[in-house]
Amino acid sequence: MHRILRYAVVFIICSAVPLALHAGEIYGFIIQQNGSPLAKASIELHCGGEPIRGTTAPDGTYRINVPQQGPCKLVLPNNSGASADVVSYPNPSQYNLQLVNNQLQRR
């Protein structure tokens, strides 16, 4: 029983280390319905734990480092909570979005 527990602990550690080593990144730009950049807007990434916060640049571009991989939700809390489903991979993932009728759509 102890041996199985030991193997389980080793397995969990081994599988957790690569996730820590290969943090993902979500990046891209967000524009408004009229095509102008969504400048200095707050962004939240909900990936299961505490939300990861960021802000868009004056040109609407954003870049957020994500500690874990997997499906996340990108939310604009100050824009009626408009959201889009995104996925964090080991390599940076690009999501160019447009805010249309308080909905985030991929471009």
Partner 1 sequence: MPQEEPPTDSPKSAPSAQSSSPPKDRSDLWVEIGKVVGMPLAALILGFIFNYTLSKAQARDNDMRLYTEMMGRREQADSDLRKDMFKAVLDKFMSNDSANMKPLEKLDQQILELELLAYNFHESLDIGPLFKRIHKQVMKVTGPEGEAMRVRLEDLAQEVKEQQLNALTGMERYGRDNVDPRQAVKPQLVVKVPLPTVDNPQGNILWGPLRTEPQFLAGTPTLYCLYLDKSNSFRIYRQFKLDFTHYSLTRREVEVWLMVSRPLSKEDCNKEVFNPLTTEVETRFWVGLFAFPMIDNTRLSEGERFAVSLNPMSEAQPLQARLAYFPESRASLKDKPYYDEILRRLSVEQGQ
Question: What is the DSSP code (8-state) at residue 51?
Answer: P
Which residues, including other chains, have CB under 8 Å from residue 1's CB and lie 6 or more apart?
A: none
Residues that bind partner 1 (CB under 8 A): 17, 20-23, 25, 27, 29, 31, 35, 37, 39, 57-61, 63, 65, 67, 92, 96
Minimum distance from residue 23 beta carbon to partner 1 (Å):
5
Minimum distance from residue 20 beta carbon to partner 1 (Å):
4
Q: Which is nearer to partner 1, 37 or 77 (CB)?
A: 37
Phi-psi region of 6 (alpha: psi -120 to 50; beta: other; left: phi over 0): alpha
Q: Which is nearer to partner 1, 71 or 90 (CB)?
A: 90
Q: Are 94 and 106 in contact (CB under 8 A)?
A: no
Which of 87, 90, 71, 86 minimizes the C-alpha distance to 21? 90
Minimum distance from residue 101 beta carbon to partner 1 (Å):
19
Q: Which is nearer to partner 1, 23 or 81 (CB)?
A: 23
